[in-house]
Structure 1
Amino acid sequence: MRHRPLSLHWRITLFAGLLILFTLSLAMVILSWQAENIETRRLRERTEIAARTAATMPEVADWVETRAQDRLYDVIERLRIVHNMDYITVYDQSRIRLVHPNPSRIGEILPKGIDDAAFAEHIYTKKAKGEEGVFIKAYFPIKNKNLEQIGVIVAGKRLPTAVEFFVHQLKSISLAVFLALLIGLVGSWFLALQVKRSLLGLEPHQIVRMYSERLAAFDAIQEGVIAIDMEEKVTIFNRSAKRILHVEGETIGHSIRDLIPDTRLPEVLEARKPFVHTEFRLGNQYIVSTRVPIMLGDEMIGALAVFTDRTEAASLAEMLTGVQAYAEALKIQAHEHKNVLHAIAGMLELDKKDEALKYLHQVHVTYDEWLKITSAIKVPSIAGLILGKMAKAKTLNIVLMIDRDSAFHTIPERLTAGDMVTIIGNLLENAFDALKEIENPDKRVILYIYDDDTSLTIAVNDNGPGIDERVLDRLFERGVSGKDDSHLGVGLYLVRNVVERAGGWIDFETQQGEGAEFVVTIPKKEK
């Protein structure tokens, strides 16, 4: 059975408790070391005072000279007890021990080379290690009335060990240590609660598992997913995003602008609002993206983009658009051919040969116009669209004329055939709508298309009533229209989006009662 890890709450509390305990222990060690130094200085003073007191007593000098050891022992022992020394030893000048707390050591001779300075009238203290520990020893000379040295007094006191100092300090501040540890543990407990709440009640192993699951999920989906923080640093960059954008290597922590120079994700941080299902060109790719801000409560902490590469779909759409436009045009032509054949057959049956020839001539002119269109417009989908719109205009009693200087060879890199259909189709529909409701036997719409190496120009002119002055300032807003049941409010909105996405612009002129003209210009090369 797998061992369940200790909760974050308990881990923080125990770690903080151990840290406090270690800190207090370290502080006590330092205090013990300082106390040892203080105690050493104090014992040096006390042992020196005890040795001086014994050496300067006149009777001590007399008894050393007369070797009155019993009297000398009694006096020295009383001094030892009074000064709380572990021992006070008396040596004569011959290094013979005259007094010692241990009677068995009386009479021993101190070897030469040991404490020679004490027998040369030197006064000093030193730290010496003995059988029972480390002692502080003070040396003081004994002098007779002639100030001649006749012996040495040695007072000694054992220095407590480091452990004894530590235990002593612990006893003296045990209550403070207990209170500090208790307060630290309680504080750690509440700190752990706050940390746990900030992590939404999740344990570290749960966060790791969720993080791993999220990464696996992001890498499994086909859409690209990129997230950045408020400093535009990448926090998520899944495999699909790398594949779609052709990015290799490590991405987390890098600036999004360094990885994708023409990125639009930082726009979310600036606008502080989502951009849902937007379409744009990224290099040679056609991207559909949804970009939203990442919120933590009321605070924005980053931005997220979910996108897919629609380049292949756009290419298929172009093919389908061209095929559909041509199919529609052929359908219209077939219908027209049938009508033409019926009309000619009827004229021939009525033996009206001259009228039949005249009608054939008119039909020939119409088909010549169609051939001119297909010759000038080299993009099949657009040629098919125009032929279809010409047929529709005819049903509306509108003459759709193609400027004789029109020529269209290639679609700009940042547009698709579908985009071109959107632009031309909506501009023509708006012109048809403007002419549909007016009484004018000469309804005309003129289409001009021309492209060269630098730009593509599309112009649509009509002789309708013009644009209502009330909507001129909001003409390209969604839903804004100058008349009921008109596509103006939607069509121009779509046209503007496509044109601006391609880096182009749209201008218009209008005059009440004389019509309107829209001119779209799209550069073929980025500036």
Structure 2
Amino acid sequence: MSKQKYKLSTIIIFFVCLVVLISLLLTDLLISHTVSESIRNNQEEKAKIISRTVAKSEIVISGLEKEDDGGAIQEYTVDIQQAADVLFVVVLDMNGIRKSHPDSEKIGKRFVGGDEKVVLTGEEHISISKGTLGESLRSFTPIYNEQNEQIGAVSVGILLNNVEKALKKGHKNIFIGSIVGILVGIVGAVFLARYIKKILFGLEPFMIAKIHEERNTMLHSVHEGIIAVDKNSTITLVNKSALKIFTNIGLSDNPVGMKLTEYLPFSKLDRVLKTGTSEKDEEIAVNGVTLLTNRAPLIVNKEIVGAISTFRDKTEVHQLAEQLTGVRIYAEALRAQSHEFMNRLHVILGMVRMEFYDELMDFINEIVDHRVNEVSYVTKDIKDPVLAGFIMGKLSTARENKVDMKIDNETIIPKPSEDHVTHELITIIGNVIDNAIEAMSEMKEKKLQVKLNYNKNQLLIKIRDSGPGIKEEQFTHIFNKGYSTKGQNRGYGLYLVSKSVKTLGGSIQLNLSVEKGTEFIIQIPYNR
């Protein structure tokens, strides 16, 4: 059973709320303690200030010195008690006898609580004790006369219930603030989740992980080298095929993080970053290796955020093109021979039906003699069976197109020492012959001559047609890839011829001295 996959919004809301809740709880604990201490200190300070104020009062000092049991001290302390909103203000003499009290009946009686003894020794202090009015926070301050002799003390009490009420009020405010904070956190988490999901194109985390793994598998499984850079020309991605190609051309491994201009100054990806225009099927040469490359910008929200380049060793591409070209030429030769054979069968069938047996015999003898002579001539001088079979196919193609094609083997043509030379020769001879046959399609006289000569490890090939010829202004362009005067998607035949000649280390030229038509003169090294 697979694990439960939660949505990104759910995960973000949960963790944001959890963080906010923990933060607020910790804050509540710290603030509550601080607020409690502050409220208690404030109440103690209030009681202390009142008791000190009463202790300095002339009314109180005079009343204690004269041992006045009248109402002066009582009246004064009651006013102070009401004005300051405290539980009691009690004045004591040195015997602990009350000189004032909120309950006038308790005046003249001993102070209750037992915590007054310290102040009667001249020490100011704070205590919590239970008296006749209940449990209270008490501040005791000694009273001195002008001779600095202690003549009594004053006690100010604040009901503990009031302190607890103040603490509860502080806690309530903190609790309300925490609830508001959690609600704000939830709302913020929802908006944050939506924003992040929008940035991620609505993808969930597990979907992103799956896409990431698929991308890595795809990038490293393709045969083409792939390299990507960000908008600052820093290399961000290189697949295994690219690393292999870089190693073959003498570059260091793992260029991720390096500047493109330092590692691949010839890549021209920085140009794509500036222009935003894709570039296709361009060739670059690096340390003697030719790479075929495509470059494209990476655009997000109409902004160029990087660029990517795919490339492949041109040698592999060229070999593949050679194989495809060779197969096509073989197929064309077989098709031409098959077509020619079917035409002759139709002629034979017609003669049989009309019972022209004498003429049929002459026709068959002519075919057999011509075929035997043709096969004998070609195979006798051309020792490579693949090349010989190809030449036979081209003879059939020429006859099908009503072209008078002649093969002139000036010497014995031995089989080459390497098989790839045969494929290159098929590409060279096949494309030149095809071009010549096509060029003569509108001509009345259609003649094509192929001469082969082998001497001192050099093979000389001359192919001459009776076509309209090549115009002088076309001489410098006919071997360029894609150049053609015959329309779109043409111009690859002579380009492949030129590439194959260069691969074999040979040369190709046009004979400009011929009166009409075109003659190609091709010379290549040829080891048997």
What is the TM-score with the length of structure 2 in the denominator? 0.53
Change (3 A) 1:208 1:197: same
Aligned counterpart, 2:117: 109
- Contact map agreement 1:467 1:512 (CA 8 A) in 2: no
Matched ranges for 1:412-451 at <5 A: 418=423, 421-423=426-428, 425-427=430-432, 429-430=434-435
1:9 maps to 9
Question: What residue identity is the alignment partner of 2:189?
Answer: S
5+ residue gaps, structure 1: 119-125, 343-362, 523-527
| Structure 2 partner of 1:468 | 471
> Could you tell me whether the CA contact under 8 Å between 1:226 and 1:234 is conserved in 2?
no
Superposed CA offset, 1:463-504 (max 9, x none): 8754236766864566653469x9973313444677899999
Provide the C-alpha distance between the structure 1 equivalents of 2:516 and 2:434, rounded to a whole number of angstroms. Answer: 18
Amino acid corresponding to residue 61 of structure 2 in structure 1: A
Q: What corresponds to 1:192 in structure 2?
A: 193
Structural mapping, 1:260-271, within 5 Å: none
Residues 409 and 90 of structure 1: is their aligned pair in 2 closer, same or farther, counting only changes over 3 Å? Answer: farther
1:189 maps to a residue whose letter is V
In structure 1, distance between residues paired with 2:115 and 2:47? 23
Q: Is the 8 A contact 2:39 2:167 kept in 1?
A: no
**1:79 — aligned with what?**
80
1:74-117 per-residue CA deviation (whole Å, 9 max, x = no partner) reads 7546534532346657676x7x65559894235853299x985x
Q: Is the 8 A contact 1:237 1:252 kept in 2?
A: no
Please identify, of 77-86 and 23-32, the stretch whose mean Cα deviation from structure 2 is larger: 23-32
Higher mean alpha-carbon deviation, 10-19 vs 509-518, is at 509-518
Asked if the contact 2:407/2:449 (under 8 Å) is kept, the reply is yes
**Would you say the 8 A contact 1:89–1:154 is kept in 2?**
yes
Structure-2 change in CA distance of 1:500 and 1:183 (3 Å): farther
Letter in 1 for 2:80: L
Provide the C-alpha distance between the structure 1 equivalents of 2:441 and 2:43, rounded to a whole number of angstroms: 119
Shift of 1:57: 1.6
TM-superposed deviation, 1:183: 5.1
State the distance in 2 between where 1:7 and 1:279 align: 47
- Secondary structure of the residue aligned to 1:104 is coil
Distance 1:44 1:514, change over 3 A: farther
Deviation at 1:61? 1.8
> Distance in 2 between the 1:28 and 1:503 partners?
86
Partner-residue secondary structure (3-state), 2:46: helix
For residues 348-427 of structure 1, what are the structure 2 equivalents within 5 Å? 370=381, 396-397=404-405, 418=423, 421-423=426-428, 425-427=430-432
Partners in 1 of 2:443 and 2:426 — Cα distance? 26
Cα contact 2:290–2:314 (8 A) shared by 1: yes
Match of 2:49, SS state, is: helix
Taking a change above 3 Å as real, the CA distance of residues 195 and 488 of structure 1, as seen in their structure-2 partners, is closer
Query: Counterparts of 1:490 and 1:498 in 2: how far apart (Å)?
Result: 12
C-alpha contact (below 8 Å) 1:401/1:444 kept by paired residues: no
The corresponding residue for 2:365 is none
- Other-structure match for 2:133: none
User: Do the aligned partners of 1:52 and 1:140 also contact (CA within 8 Å) in 2?
Assistant: yes
Q: Displacement, 1:60?
A: 1.7
Q: Which residue of 2 aligns with 1:50?
A: 50
Counterpart CA distance in 2 for 1:281 and 1:46 is 91
C-alpha distance in 2 between matches for 1:170 and 1:460: 106
8 Å CA contact retained: 1:467, 1:511: no
C-alpha RMSD of matched pairs (Å):
7.3
Mapping for residues 476-491 of structure 1, pairs under 5 Å:
480-482=483-485, 489-491=491-493
Q: Quote the Cα distance in structure 1 between the aligned partners of 2:492 and 2:17.
A: 68
**Which AA in structure 1 matches 2:13?**
T
**Alignment match, 1:59:** 59
In structure 2, the CA distance between the partners of 1:170 and 1:203, relative to structure 1 (3 Å rule), is farther
The 8 Å contact of residues 477 and 493 in structure 1, kept in 2 or not, is answered as: yes
Q: Deviation of residue 17 (structure 1)?
A: 3.9
Tell me, what secondary structure is at the counterpart of 2:193? helix
How far apart are 1:50 and its partner, in Å?
A: 0.9
Separation in 1, partners of 2:198, 2:56: 76
Describe the shift of the 1:129–1:446 C-alpha distance in structure 2 as closer, same or farther (beyond 3 A): farther
- Partner of 1:105, secondary structure, is coil
Could you tell me whether the CA contact under 8 Å between 2:269 and 2:308 is conserved in 1? yes
On the 8 A contact 2:450/2:461 being kept in 1, the answer is no
Query: What does residue range 137-176 of structure 1 map to in structure 2 within 5 Å?
Result: 142-153=143-154, 155=156, 167-169=168-170, 171-172=172-173
Runs of 5+ consecutive residues of structure 2 not aligned to the other structure:
102-109, 131-135, 338-367
CA distance in 2 between counterparts of 1:460 and 1:137 reads: 127
- Trace 1:223-234 onto structure 2 (pairs within 5 A): 223-224=222-223, 229-231=228-230
Change (3 A) 1:107 1:243: closer
1:13 counterpart SS class: helix
Q: Is the alpha carbon distance of 1:442 and 1:500 closer, same or farther for their aligned partners in structure 2, counting shifts above 3 Å? A: closer
Distance 1:292 1:308, change over 3 A: farther
Give per-residue Cα distances to partners, 1:409-459, cap 9 Å, x unaligned. 779xxx98645643454245445655787789997677899999xxx9999
Q: Distance in 2 between matches of 1:201 and 1:418?
A: 54
Contact 1:55–1:140, Cα closer than 8 Å, also in 2: yes
Q: Which residue of 1 aligns with 2:373?
A: 339
Q: Bigger shift: 73-82 or 155-164?
A: 155-164
Amino acid at match of 2:186: L
Amino acid at match of 1:426: N
Give the residue type in structure 1 aligned to 2:55.
Answer: A
Q: Specify which of 473, 492, 503 is matched with residue 494 of structure 2.
A: 492
**Cα distance, 1:291 vs structure 2:** 8.7
SS in structure 2 at match of 1:62: helix
Query: How far apart, in 2, do the equivalents of 1:175 and 1:78 lie?
Result: 38
- SS where residue 189 of structure 1 aligns? helix
In 1, the alpha carbon distance for the partners of 2:463 and 2:480 equals 21
Once residues 35 and 453 of structure 2 are traced to their aligned partners in structure 1, the CA distance between those partners, rounded to angstroms, is 102
**Distance 1:381-1:178 versus aligned 2 partners, 3 A rule:** same
Distance 1:251 1:130, change over 3 A: farther
* CA offset digits 1:311-367 (Å, max 9, x no partner): 79969x87x979x99xx9xx9xx998942999xxxxxxxxxxxxxxxxxxxx8xx99
Determine if contact 1:286/1:311 at 8 Å carries over to the other structure: no
1:263/1:142 CA distance change after superposition, 3 Å:
same
